[in-house]
Structure 1
Amino acid sequence: MKVVKFGGSSLATGEQVAKVVSILNADTERRVIVTSAPGKRNPTDIKVTDLLIQYAQCAITHQETAPVVTQILARYQAISDYFDLPNEVMIALTNRLHNIATTTFADNAHLLATYKAQGELLNAILLAAILNQQGVPAKFVDPQTVGFLVGGAPDDATVLPMTYANLARWTLPDTRIVFPGFFGYNQTGDICTFARGGSDITGAILSRGLRADLYENFTDVDAIFTVDTHIVPHPAMITKMSYREMRELSYAGFSVFQDEAIIPAIQGQIPVNVKNTNNPTAPGTLIVPEQFLFNPANPITGIACSDRFSALYLHRYLLNKEVGFTLKLLEIFQKYNLSYEHIPSGIDDLTIIFDRSKLDATTIHSLCRDIRTTLHPDYLEWIDDYAIIMVVGEGIAHTIDTMGKIIDSLTQNNIAIHMINQGASRISIMIGTQRKDAPAAVRHIYDTFFVKSEV
């Protein structure tokens, strides 16, 4: 049995939904279908989720909602018209969309979560109706009916362990199941949405809970590429990679998945296949547990970079001799509710790397002041001009010269390395550079391992 998730671009128009129907017809093992909300039809279009946020804001501020509701319903109406569905389908969707405006919510956060979730929910109802009309027996399933339970904040849900027990007890019907992504219900019956990864997370949870043989994630690319196509045009595709390679690369900027989105599938040891709705016969990228990998031909699987980081450099003589120094530093971080990303160190030096998006100028100023006052460093510098490059591959642990080749590829092209660190897993090498150097660094590393190796 396969769980299949379709992204917003795959469900944006009638023509795209027709491709989805063909994909499901091509494989009867595709039993559980997870929907996203309709995405953009063109670069200037508005996602249905963004329209629903507008609808929620109008409701909160007591403004006229009719114009935005009309826009939302028009998106579903166009798909319904493409398949010539009976009017009853759109009447049901319209009633659901209007009914939430008469619902009482505990607060605006719960209101917003419920409104946002309607994009996936209405699309699941619509897709089930389309499949039945096309001769593919299908049933819409609301997450609440199978005990798909979450905790956490209304806009930052986390799956509860009992969800997996509930899913394990659920007997799948003979029909296809159409399940809305992006949200679940808390134990008081309120809708809560996932903060990141949306429908990807739902698909991963269902794959684990239902013990699927495969989780297929359909998007709009043929595969995951070895490097960002904005940096290297037409890079090599990744045919197979491990879960932990995916996590390392997602963390550093790969955009196919949020780095946390497939954790439930990882926990359940379910292989994940990234495929293209517009080219479904392409093999895509298979993401598997490490033990399922064959010996890779190339030690490097992928290269990613991100400039969202900043660094705090701290120097103090005999730092390595001082007991409790790092503890005091961590206590300061705790005071500001900060987590750090990495701490490469020397005998007299520490560099603490932060996700810059989680910090503002006031916090940075106060943080540096407290460190100076408490720890009395000889030198302290905040560095905003910082990028991190991640070179990732299961084969790195089994080759001797990978690090040397990476360093040579950068130094021979006059790119200064501010930091270099190999993770404990030995499958990733982290490099710190100036932001302006990061794209060139990625290109030179790519050329070394993927272009020169082909010559």
Structure 2
Amino acid sequence: MKVVKFGGSSLADAGQIKKVKNIMELDEDRRVVVVSAPGKRHSKDEKVTDLLIALGTSIQMNQMDETVYKKIIDRFQSMTEELELSFRVVEQVKDKIDEAMQLVKDGSEHAFDALKACGEDGSAHIVSAYLQKTGTKASYVNPKEAGILVRDQPGGALVLEESFEKLYSLRHRNEILVIPGFFGYTPEGELVTFSRGGSDITGSIVAAGLKADLYENFTDVDSVYCVNPMFVDQPKQLTSLTYREMRELSYAGFSVFHDEALIPAFKEKIPVCIKNTNNPAAPGTMIVADLPERESHVVGIASDDGFLNLYVSKYLMNREIGFGRRLLQILEDEEVSFEHAPSGIDDMSVVIREHHLPPEKEEKVIKRIKEELEVDTVLIEREMAMIMIVGEGMNQTIGIASRAAAAFRDAEVNIEMINQGSSEVSMMFGVKSSGLGKAVQSLYRTFFE
């Protein structure tokens, strides 16, 4: 059995949905399909999920945006018309959106999640209806029916262990099952979404629950590249990666796969294959538990900007028991999550995504750090970027750090921070966002050319 997940670009319009049908029919082992919300049809287009969020925001401000609402309904209607589906399909999708909008108007705690989930739910209804129309035995399966149970954390659901046993019963159904990604239900029956891009998570959960032989994740690239093609023209394609390598790369900016998605598949040792909907014959990238020894220990360079560095200095900080805990407690109190926290004898840095600490919250955090921790210095440095080199066994290979440092020197980019930590598969560097492109290109030349 294979579980197949299609991303937003694979479901952007009727033409793409026809490709989805063909891919499912190419292999009779493809028995379960997980779908995302319709993505962009072209570079200037809008994702349906973004439109739903904009609609919900306008409702919360008591200024419902009729134009956005019409865009969403028209998007689904154009697909159903081109696929020559019954008008009842788009009515079904519209009814779900209208119900969720009413929940937002009523101020329900889970309303926004219900509205955001309408994109994936609409895709699932359309795909299942099209498969049925073209003679394939198929059914829409709601995540509640499938047994995807999650913790009650709106916008950040985590799967409950009992889900996997419930999902296993789907193996006995003799048809293609179409499941909307991105959301599950609490044991009390409330709809809750995973974090953004969470359809990858649903696919991995379903694959693990069904104990699938393979989880195929279809996107819009032939494979995973060793570096972002925005920075390097025609970079090297990766034919295989370990789970740990892919997770590190995804976390650090590889948008091809959600960084949380591999965990359920990893636990069940289910291989994952990244493939291209527009070129399904391409072999793609296999992600597995273990790989034979490679000649090169660096397999990828991930990068992302939009970070800031919160720098705190206090003489004899290392002797002050609980200092780090109290600093992080302030961040927790102000609902600010952090990414990394390298420290020295008298100083500590906390790397944070910029959107987690907007300027209006920054003032309060700095004030509390000064008053409660009595520090000598507290600074916030914005416009930071993180670059991560990734590969199994790097920490056992002599000279990786020195080669990387030389690459930064050649690019004339100053390293603001280095953090290897306890991970055996990655080494992270902090630089100014302005030097990101030059640094990545220099690292690529060093390790791949």
TM-score, length of structure 1 as denominator length: 0.89
Deviation at 1:402, TM superposition (A): 1.1
Taking only aligned residues, the RMSD between alpha carbons, in angstroms, comes to 2.7
Partner of 1:16: 16
Distance 1:369 1:54, change over 3 A: closer
Preserved contact between residue 89 and residue 129 of structure 2 (Cα < 8 Å) = no
Amino acid at match of 1:6: F
Measured in 2, the distance between the counterparts of 1:64 and 1:403 equals 54
Say whether 1:167 aligns with 2:163.
no
Which deviates further from its counterpart, 403-412 or 344-353?
A: 344-353
The separation in 2 between residues aligned to 1:330 and 1:113, in whole angstroms, is 29
Q: Following the alignment from structure 2 to structure 1, what is the Cα–Cα distance between the partners of residues 406 and 65?
A: 60
Asked if structure 1 preserves the Cα contact closer than 8 Å seen for 2:158 and 2:194, the reply is yes
Q: Output one character per residue of 1:342-394: Cα deviation in whole Å (capped at 9) or x when no partner.
A: 22223333222222221122433333333333444444332224222111111
Q: Which amino acid aligns with 1:124?
A: A
Per-residue CA shift, 1:233-263, capped at 9, x if unaligned? Answer: 2111121112221222222211112322332
1:349 aligns with 2:347: yes
1:297, distance to aligned residue in structure 2 (A): 2.8
Provide closer, same or farther for how the CA distance between residues 404 and 12 of structure 1 changes in structure 2, counting only shifts above 3 A: same
Distance, in Å, in 1 between the alignment partners of 2:152 and 2:96 is: 25
Q: 1:235 and 1:32 mapped to 2: Cα distance?
A: 33
Q: Could you tell me whether the CA contact under 8 Å between 1:11 and 1:39 is conserved in 2?
A: yes
CA 434–12 in structure 1, closer or farther in 2 if over 3 Å, else same: closer
SS in 1 for 2:126: helix
Distance 2:392 2:321 in 1: 36
C-alpha contact (below 8 Å) 1:109/1:155 kept by paired residues: no
Supply the distance in 2 between the matched residues of 1:407 and 1:70 (Cα, whole angstroms): 53
**1:102, 1:82 → 2: CA distance?**
26
Q: Distance in 1 between matches of 2:165 and 2:206?
A: 11
The equivalent residue for 1:123 is 123
Give deviations 1:77-124, integer Å, cap 9, x for gaps: 433344434xxx322431452366368646344333333323222322
1:419 matched to 2:417: yes
- CA separation in 2, counterparts of 1:314 and 1:69? 47
Asked if 1:90 is matched to 2:75, the reply is: no
Q: For 2:136 and 2:170, locate their aligned partners in 1 and report how far apart those are by CA, in whole Å.
A: 21
Q: How many residues align?
A: 446
**Corresponding residue to 1:326 among 314, 324, 327:** 324
Instruction: Summarize the alignment of residues 240-251 of structure 1 with structure 2, pairs less than 5 Å apart.
Output: 240-251=240-251
Asked whether 1:216 is paired with 2:213, we answer no
Aligned to 1:184: 184
Tell me, what secondary structure is at the counterpart of 2:196?
coil
| In structure 2, distance between residues paired with 1:257 and 1:120 | 17
Instruction: Show CA shifts across 1:33-59 (max 9, x none).
Output: 111222222223333334444665677
Structure 1 pair 348/282, CA: closer, same or farther in 2 (3 Å)? same
Alignment of 1:149-298 (within 5 A): 149-289=149-289, 292-298=290-296
Letter paired with 2:447: F
- 1:239–1:285 Cα contact (<8 Å) kept: yes
Separation in 2, partners of 1:362, 1:96? 39
TM-score normalized by the length of structure 2: 0.90
Aligned equivalents of 2:352, 2:99: Cα separation in 1: 44
User: Which amino acid in structure 1 is aligned with residue 145 of structure 2?
Assistant: T
2 CA distance for matches of 1:120 and 1:208? 20
| 1:300-344 deviation digits (Å, cap 9, x = unpaired) | 111122222222333344433444433443443344344432222
Aligned-pair CA distance for 1:154: 4.0
Query: Which residue identity does 1:389 align to in structure 2?
Result: I
- CA offsets 1:146-182 (integer angstroms, 9 cap, x no match): 3222232443333222211211234431111111112
Listed as ranges, the gaps of 5+ residues in structure 2 are none
User: 1:114-144: CA deviations, max 9, x gaps?
Assistant: 3332322232222122223323221221222
Instruction: Please show how residues 26-175 of structure 1 align to structure 2 within 5 Å.
Output: 26-53=26-53, 56=56, 71-85=71-85, 89-98=86-95, 101=98, 105=103, 107-175=107-175
Provide closer, same or farther for how the CA distance between residues 351 and 61 of structure 1 changes in structure 2, counting only shifts above 3 A.
Answer: closer
Identity value in percent:
42
Name which one, 1 or 2, has greater alpha-carbon Rg. Answer: 1
The one-letter code sitting in structure 1 at the alignment partner of 2:347 is D
1:326/1:175 Cα in 2 relative to 1: closer, same or farther (>3 Å)? Answer: closer
Structure 1 residues 60 and 270, CA gap change in structure 2 (3 angstroms): same
Q: Which residue does 2:391 correspond to in 1?
A: 393
Give the letter aligned to residue 101 of structure 1: D
1:9 shift after superposition:
1.4
22-31 or 37-46: which moved more?
37-46
